Amino acid sequence: MLESGCKAVKEGMLEKRSDGLLQLWKKKRCILTEEGLLLIPPKHPPPPQQQQQQPTVDCVERKGKYVYFTVVMAEGKEIDFRCAQEQGWNAAITLQMVQYKNRQAILAVRSTRQSGTGSGISRTGPF
């Protein structure tokens, strides 16, 4: 459990491509929580109240021993990562993003039902 109260779903090292001219790969400690993704320099403790952002995984490519993927943060910033194929970071981030969006949708429906401002349309079935 992080100091901010969020439970870590997955934690480990990823390589992040730098934004500079040379675009070097630098190791970052990443903590995936139920609410988002934290990026921390390797030798620093996680900050107590760092804002997390719910990412989406945009592009996944397997080359040799690495999986390369692009994460798009909530504000639209794109970050390129790579990791060993067996680490499964891209799948973990995608799964967590889907679960987060499902929780948000459930909260929105509950809020609408409690306020009584529904559309009046009743649906049955999965769609």
Number of domains in the chain: 1
Instruction: Read off the pLDDT of residues 40-82 as tens digits, 9 standing for 90 and up.
Output: 877 766 665 554 556 667 778 888 889 898 888 777 888 899 9
Instruction: Give the confidence band of 36 by pLDDT, cuts at 50, 70, 90.
Output: confident
Structural domain that includes position 36: 8-114
Asked, for residue 55, whether it belongs to a domain, the answer is yes
Asked, for residue 28, whether it belongs to a domain, the answer is yes
| C-alpha 32, offset from chain centre | 6
Asked, for residue 127, whether it belongs to a domain, the answer is no
Identify the pLDDT of residue 15. 92
CATH code at 72?
Answer: 2.30.29.30
Identify the pLDDT of residue 106. 92
Instruction: Give the confidence band of 112 by pLDDT, cuts at 50, 70, 90.
Output: confident
Question: Do the beta carbons of residue 127 and residue 61 sit within 8 Å?
Answer: no
Share of residues in the chain with pLDDT > 70 (%)? 76
Asked, for residue 71, whether it belongs to a domain, the answer is yes
Q: How many CB atoms lie within 10 A of CB 96?
A: 20
| DSSP letters for the chain | --TTSPPEEEEEEEEEE-SSSS--EEEEEEEEESS-EEEE-TTSPPPTTPPPB--EEEEEEEETTEEEEEEE-TTS-EEEEEEEGGG-HHHHHHHHHHHHHHHHHHHHHHHHHHHT---S----S--
Share of residues in the chain with pLDDT > 90 (%)? 9
pTM value surpassing 0.75: no
Identify the pLDDT of residue 126. 42
Among candidate residues 97, 62, 96, the one with its CA nearest the CA of residue 82 = 62
Asked, for residue 120, whether it belongs to a domain, the answer is no
Asked, for residue 21, whether it belongs to a domain, the answer is yes
Q: Is the pLDDT of residue 22 over 70?
A: yes
Asked, for residue 53, whether it belongs to a domain, the answer is yes
Identify the pLDDT of residue 24. 93
Asked, for residue 2, whether it belongs to a domain, the answer is no
Q: Name the phi and psi angles at 57, rounded to 5.
A: -95, 120
